[in-house]
Amino acid sequence: AQSVTQLDSHVSVSEGTPVLLRCNYSSSYSPSLFWYVQHPNKGLQLLLKYTSAATLVKGINGFEAEFKKSETSFHLTKPSAHMSDAAEYFCVVRDSSYKLIFGSGTRLLVRP
Amino acid sequence: EPEVTQTPSHQVTQMGQEVILRCVPISNHLYFYWYRQILGQKVEFLVSFYNNEISEKSEIFDDQFSVERPDGSNFTLKIRSTKLEDSAMYFCASSEPLQETQYFGPGTRLLVL
């Protein structure tokens, strides 16, 4: 069965510093992986996705993620945090039946 | 940019009452989904729907739940007799044929008293 583990429930960074949100996956086959973001009182917005093409995936708002099969990881990064990045981030794996399996989420706090 | 919409944004109901949550998927999408997020917990899959029938459902999706596409544009989730534990944020999503990206609506926050 597919699963994802988000290693940090909360991450706090200063504005202008790098962001790293960690995610490890478990899959019996080559997975499709996603990062979604949820701003307060908003829906789930797709940041980026990996579907077996390039291992470094660029998303919206300057975010990117690298698929590392040897480490079963799909960490989300951004070189410089902005106040508007404060939100909850979900690492997600797609099941063979197309349903999405969500991680527990990481809340990103950006300090001025 | 097309988006998934959901109504109402918030609903408060009494235990035992029926509720219907509504979703308008993106117009050319053919796959539809409902997920829910109980406060403080993970987002969980409820059901997927394609070609006017359920493709897959989770253990949560028992006989109290049903889905329907009544008119070719709306996609609804009905809970026949709500329980306290049904209180959650309910998300609708849709995707194109053979595409993997699911686009989510803003959610309906359901509170059962």
pLDDT single digits (tens) A18-38: 999 999 999 878 789 999 999
Domain count, chain A: 1
Q: Cβ of B4 under 8 Å from any chain A Cβ?
A: yes
Q: Do residue A98 and residue B44 have CB atoms under 8 angstroms apart? A: no
Instruction: Domain count for chain B, please give it.
Output: 1
Q: ∠ CA(A41), CA(A34), CA(B59), 5° rounding?
A: 75
CA-CA distances (angstroms) from residue B39 to A24, A106, B85? 23, 14, 10
CATH label of the domain that carries residue A70: 2.60.40.10
| Residue B38 structural domain | 5-112
The model's confidence at residue B40, banded by pLDDT at 50, 70 and 90, is: confident
Nearest to B31 among A51, A90, A98 (CB): A98
Would you place residue B90 in the very low, low, confident or very high pLDDT band (cuts 50, 70, 90)? Answer: very high
Q: How far apart are CA A14 and CA A81, in angstroms?
A: 7
Q: Quick check: B10 pLDDT over 90?
A: yes
pLDDT at B9 over 90: yes
Q: Residue B81 pLDDT > 70, yes or no?
A: yes
- Asked if residue A30 belongs to a domain, the reply is yes
B55 contact A CB<8A: yes
Residue of B nearest to A38 (CA): B106
Task: Please state the rounded mean pLDDT for residues B60-67.
Answer: 95
- Provide the domain limits for residue A12: 3-47+61-74+82-100
Low-confidence ranges of chain A (pLDDT < 70): none
CA distance B47 to chain A (A): 8
CATH of the domain at B23: 2.60.40.10
DSSP 3-state of A13? strand
Residue B48 has its nearest CB partner, among A46, A99, A101, at A99
